[in-house]
């Protein structure tokens, strides 16, 4: 595995490997860019990596994604991510996560970790015993708690900006929105949209989730396949990644795609296909940054009101990206990436001067 060519090509700062014989810890921390502040990103803990290269790839890809997300969210953090290759045999989970916390501590605050796929609030509490460079603690422990309602609020603000710019509307009353996945983010999103007079369609593989949305919010429940072909203003993917793919694209009859899921485009070319079909895509990492903005607030001292105000500004960011994309005849996700690279280049040049 040759790391330096990748690190050079995509401008990674450092990759750290940690091992602890006592607990069986094997962890990788990738720091992509810390120009704007310490790398902030969750710890993914997975037992199914076939190879070390797979785990490194994940850490690298996710860390770079965090640089882009934090930069566009205007928070003073960079991109970092950790991956733990969990032992396949039984292990002492509290001890392993505490050992990981100590490993993070050796980076002296260049990396700040939090929960991610495969880690729980309990795991985060164990990490906290080894380092103070942890955010996303439960509210009862002085942390910012569940990020999902903030992510949902950010998505609503993004949809409001989209509605204003592309549909010329200053409220969402009567807008038609379909939501794929009414879980931790999708459900509060549905509730906030319902409060704004939006007509909702929902689909989820969990019937309990859709039942609640129908009973409490009057949402129309359809199958995931039916949902894709609805003639709605906005389709909001809020389940797994890759919702926009070769199979779903031909079915779509929405005017725009704007939801919380990470990596909504299965491949970059799917963004181009959306654009060619006249469907506006609001880049996922821009519109779903509310949870990150909220957790980042913990570093300077958690204040829920401040968090809400910052998340609310996702409206301005989305609006500016849509505006620039239209002016340049370009795609919003291309414009978003370019803004990030421009901001980083400018900040690096200023630092070097």
Name the site residues for ligand NAD (rule: CB under 6 A).
Answer: 147-148, 151, 180-186, 203-206, 209, 224, 238-241, 260-262, 288, 291
Closer of 16 and 81 to ligand NAD (Cβ): 81
Half-sphere exposure of 35 (CA within 13 A, CB side): 23
Q: Minimal distance in Å, beta carbon 299 to ligand NAD?
A: 17
**Can you spell out the DSSP letters for 202-219?**
EE-S-HHHHHHHHHHH-P
Q: Which two tokens stand for residue 272?
A: 């181009």
Which CB, 129 or 194, lies closer to ligand NAD?
194
Smallest separation, CB 181 to ligand NAD (Å): 3
Least Å distance between CB 216 and ligand NAD?
15
H/E element, 194: helix 186-195
Tell me the closest approach of the beta carbon of residue 165 to ligand NAD, in angstroms: 22
Residues in the chain: 353
Query: CB atoms < 10 A from the CB of 112, how many?
Result: 25
Residue with smaller CB distance to ligand NAD, 103 or 261: 261
Number of residue whose CB is nearest ligand NAD: 183
Beta carbons of 282 and 162 less than 8 angstroms apart: yes
Q: In what order do the strands lie in the sheet with 256-257?
A: 220-221, 199-203, 176-180, 234-237, 256-257, 280-281
Backbone φ/ψ region at 197: left (φ over 0), alpha (ψ -120 to 50), beta: left
Give the nearer residue to ligand NAD in terms of CB position, either 130 or 290: 290
Q: Which of 81, 176, 199, 348 is catalytic?
A: 81
Whether 81 is catalytic: yes
Give me the active site residues, please. 81
């Amino acid at each position: 595995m040759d790391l330096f060519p990748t690190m050079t090509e995509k401008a990674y700062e450092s990759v750290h490997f940690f091992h602890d014989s006592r607990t069986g810890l094997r962890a990788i921390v990738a720091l992509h860019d810390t120009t704007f502040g310490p790398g902030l990103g969750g710890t993914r803990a997975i037992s199914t990596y076939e190879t070390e290269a797979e785990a490194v790839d994940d850490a690298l890809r996710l860390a770079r994604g965090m640089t882009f997300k934090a930069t566009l969210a205007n928070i003073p953090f960079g991109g970092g991510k950790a991956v733990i290759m969990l032992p396949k045999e039984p292990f002492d989970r509290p001890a392993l996560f505490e050992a990981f916390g100590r490993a993070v501590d050796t980076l002296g605050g260049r990396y700040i970790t939090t929960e991610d796929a495969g880690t729980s609030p309990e795991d985060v509490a164990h990490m906290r015993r080894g380092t103070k460079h942890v955010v996303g603690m439960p509210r009862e422990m002085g942390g910012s708690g569940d990020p999902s309602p903030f992510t949902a609020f950010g998505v609503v603000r993004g949809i409001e900006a989209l509605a204003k710019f592309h549909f010329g509307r200053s409220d969402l009353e009567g807008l038609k929105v379909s939501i794929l996945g009414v879980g931790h983010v999708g459900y509060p999103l549905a509730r906030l949209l319902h409060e704004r007079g939006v007509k909702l369609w929902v689909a989820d593989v969990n019937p309990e989730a859709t039942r609640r949305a129908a009973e409490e919010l009057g949402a129309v429940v359809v199958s995931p396949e039916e949902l894709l072909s609805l003639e709605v203003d906005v389709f909001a993917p809020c389940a797994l990644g890759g919702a926009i793919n070769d199979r779903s694209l031909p079915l779509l009859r929405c005017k725009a795609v704007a939801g919380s899921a990470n990596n909504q485009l299965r491949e970059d070319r799917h963004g181009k296909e959306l654009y060619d079909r006249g469907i506006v895509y609001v880049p996922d990492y821009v519109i779903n940054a509310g949870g990150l903005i909220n957790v980042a607030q913990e570093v300077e001292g958690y204040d829920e009101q401040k968090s809400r105000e910052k998340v609310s500004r996702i409206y301005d960011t989305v609006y500016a990206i849509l505006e620039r994309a239209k002016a340049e005849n370009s795609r919003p996700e291309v414009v978003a990436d370019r803004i990030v690279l421009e901001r980083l280049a400018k900040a690096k040049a200023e630092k070097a001067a």
